[in-house]
Amino acid sequence: MSRVGNKPIPLPKGVNIRLGERLEVEGPKGKLAVPIPAGIKIEQKNNHLELVRDNDKLAAIHGLTRALAANAVQGVSTGFTRELDIVGTGYRADVKGKVATFTLGYSHPIEFLLPPGVDLKIDKQTHLVLTGFDRQVVGQVAAQIRALRPPDPYKNKGVRYTGEVLRKKAGKTGAGAK
């Protein structure tokens, strides 16, 4: 029994859907399409979407399709946000248009081109807020920015997600400890 797949998806005002071989969702923030696998049917009942599967062998893909559809509906209506923090002396970021420039302790600044549909706001040069309507793209961009300088376990410097808990390691202790 798929608990995720059986949950109805509420449709907010301003969100339009078209059913076919894929679910097309359009709202104030943008337009997304979700593929519908064979054996899964989508029914619209009074401002809710319900997904029904043909047999129990499709339980996993039933839940996956429902989650993708719910993310598409939420994305085009309210959008998604991912926040990152830059920690380190002299580490900072700046954005001009669709190009973000990072100074992360390397000998050169790093320029990062933002994909369409993703916006970046920077507060105090060290707090980044990524927003967009496609959850997968926002998460991928956040992961790529974090990979520019991952958090160091010894000094805790680098780019990290806001609220990410890091385990700090102890460095070397004493000379000639052997």
Could you read off the pLDDT of 56-90 as tens digits, one per residue? 888 888 888 889 999 999 899 888 999 999 988 88
Provide DSSP, 11-70: --TT-EEE-SSEEEEE-SS-EEEEE--TTEEEEEETTEEEEEESSGGGHHHHHHHHHHHH
Full residue range of the structural domain in which residue 109 is found: 80-161
Domain count, the chain: 2
Res 178: pLDDT: 54
Claim to verify: residue 85 and residue 142 sit in the same structural domain: yes
Whether residues 71 and 87 fall in one domain: no
8/68 same-domain check: yes
Q: Is residue 173 in a domain?
A: no
In a domain, 170, yes or no: no
119-167, pLDDT tens digit by residue?
Answer: 999 888 889 999 999 999 999 999 999 998 988 888 888 888 888 788 8
How far are the Cα atoms of 27, 51, 151, 160, 162 from residue 130, in angstroms, in the given order?
A: 19, 31, 19, 13, 12
Model confidence, pTM: 0.83
Residue 175 has pLDDT above 70, yes or no: no
Whether residues 59 and 105 share a domain: the answer is no
Same domain, 69 and 106: no
Any idea what the CATH number is for the domain that residue 57 is in?
3.90.930.12
**98, 34: one domain:** no
Given this model, what pLDDT does residue 155 score? 86
Tell me if 68 is assigned to some domain.
yes
The answer to whether residue 124 is domain-embedded is yes
